[in-house]
Chains A and B, each alone.
Chain A
């Protein structure tokens, strides 16, 4: 499925004529007019092609550097996989993008990370809104101790996006979106903890989607799930692009290969290699990358 949407949004933005550039386009004709109309309808047309960029981003806890000078661009509407052995810094990198590390004792960063061109550490950036726009899914499903329906709308309530009867609509919509509606529609007011692990993770996905994020950070989202749930979630991820941009940390190399457009390989706090997933797996330029993707070390 990812093959159908290779870097679609960013490619389109680059390839399609932008408004203003229409007149100087080499070939005219009706299709171009349609393109320009479609382009004008594109809500992302005035946004940078890359949702998130990091510029020389370095992270450390106390005196211990965890990552150094990462330069990376995440194209809008793409899926990027972060791979590397345990302790390579990929999770730390991921958790920095919605500033989940800020409260860790001794956390420091240098360089910068931007969301739509604006630093996420800018004093004018509203942390709560940043986290609404950059959602997160964790390794272990973590529903809240409230009913299934309240779980889905927990963030919607916090951000006052909807209220009253609208919440039921939002809940149904998001549960349908993740394909959980039929399984839970008769027990919306029950505890979520009797759902299977895979269903709980889908519930958490619905909860994250409900606040309308642009980016979703996924920290090994299937590593605690059975193969069937894993397959289902992978298919779900492919459906979320190009509306969303996904960044997935995974230990599962097959998963990185199946779902992602680009892959970043971390080793020992360095971004060793990154590129289109196909290239990185088939023609790695770095020896460490090659050994890792071949399964020589893990």
Chain B
């Protein structure tokens, strides 16, 4: 076969391969989204958003509040710890040896943590916090376990994003006599914002979508979260209902299961939109915009 022809055939095959990969990624996403919408919308009633759950009856107010509180808490705890850890790994210490004192250990610990099965972390949380510290099923142990789970992702995303900030920005800031803190806040973090926001987004999505570790730490209860961090004898969250009510022999419970799924999907979509808005705002003066 002549070379030109061989190249043409190769190009066609390669294109077909990329299109196939794209379809493989897209179709489950579309299928899931469509499935949840198709199952939930026909019987959708807005009052599930503000009605309390009573047994397998009523609405989803408690679980919605629970999931939102979990997300906010994880954003607060894992967000700050993860971003700070990422800054430590990327910025401190001498150049060429990123992470400064303990950097290598921190990075290794973070990688090990990221590889832990979530249910194991949940069980550890149960033994150490729920039983060991007598906190019972409540918000704080759930938050801590979820945070431990997502900190590695946020730290890694932050570190990677910071390392991609062009050296010329840092040098420019340094040469102007900006302190490290000032150049971090005003120049470097802004430029790294898209990567950091993506990390936080993954963290939040995990916080909203996890079930296994929550079974061990949050338990479940149909009452609305009372505002207590410990000793609350469990609280509700959406994923539990998706899992528990789906196979219930009661029609309304099945409906609630699909409603919970739909609400979770919408929450994640809203998060994505929020992230896009934040990124667009921080990047409106970016060198790389529109590429």
Contact = CB atoms under 8 A, between A and B. Distances in A.
Q: Which of B168, B171, B177 gathers most chain A CB within 10 Å?
A: B177
Interface in A124-177: 127-132, 135-136, 138, 140, 142-147, 150, 154-155, 157-159
A138 B177 contact: no
Contact of A104 (B95, B166, B283, B287): B95
A155 B168 contact: no
Contact of A142 (B97, B172, B179, B285): B172
B78 to A, nearest CB: 27
Interface residues of A, number: 35
Nearest to A139: B168
Contact of B172 (A132, A138, A157, A190): A138
A68 interface: no
A147 B177 contact: no
A100 interface: yes
Contacts of B285: 145-147, 150, 190-193
A145 B169 contact: yes
Interface in B168-218: 168-169, 171-179, 182-183, 186-187, 190-191
B113 to A, nearest CB: 30
B47 interface: no
Contacts of A138: 168, 171-172, 175
Interface string A198-215: 000000100110010000
A103 interface: yes
Given A145-B286, A145-B287, A208 B176 contact: yes
Nearest to A127: B177
Interface of A: 98, 100, 103-105, 127-132, 135-136, 138, 140, 142-147, 150, 154-155, 157-159, 190-193, 204, 207-208, 211
18 contacts: A104-B95, A105-B95, A135-B175, A135-B176, A140-B168, A142-B172, A144-B186, A145-B169, A145-B187, A146-B187, A146-B190, A150-B285, A154-B178, A155-B177, A192-B285, A193-B287, A204-B172, A211-B177
Interface of B: 94-97, 166, 168-169, 171-179, 182-183, 186-187, 190-191, 283-287, 289
